[in-house]
Amino acid sequence: MTGASLWPRCAEPADLAAIEAVPLAERHLPESTYALLSRAAARWPDRTATTVLPEAARWREPVRRTFAELLADVHRYANLLRDLGVRRGTRWR
């Protein structure tokens, strides 16, 4: 596995043995979903992260969000929740 890649080659089923030979602790996996998104936004800010069809009639016009845009959305929503008083451990009744 090279320093530039996250995984060994994975182009065909026979490549799975090389992937499975790397112990889980050595795979440098992110510790959370947020860390995963942050890493992806840093590595590939302009790559498409999500593609959504807003409605069936517009199936030729998908809405795409890049990793950078998605991370910015996450930050905006986190800040909104913080401004509303939501903190770690907050419970709603």
Q: Is pLDDT above 50 for 4?
A: no
Helix (H) or strand (E) holding 20: helix 16-20
Between CA 4 and CA 2 the distance in angstroms is: 5
* pLDDT for 81: 94
Q: Is pLDDT above 80 for 80?
A: yes
- Cβ count near 37 (within 10 Å): 17
Mean of all residue pLDDT scores within the chain: 88
The residue ranges of every structural domain in the chain are: 30-93
- Is residue 14 within 8 A of residue 33, CB to CB? The reply is no
Q: Which of 48, 33, 47, 44 is nearest to 78 (CA)?
A: 33
3-class state of residue 66 by DSSP: strand
* pLDDT for 91: 85
Q: Is pLDDT above 70 for 2?
A: no
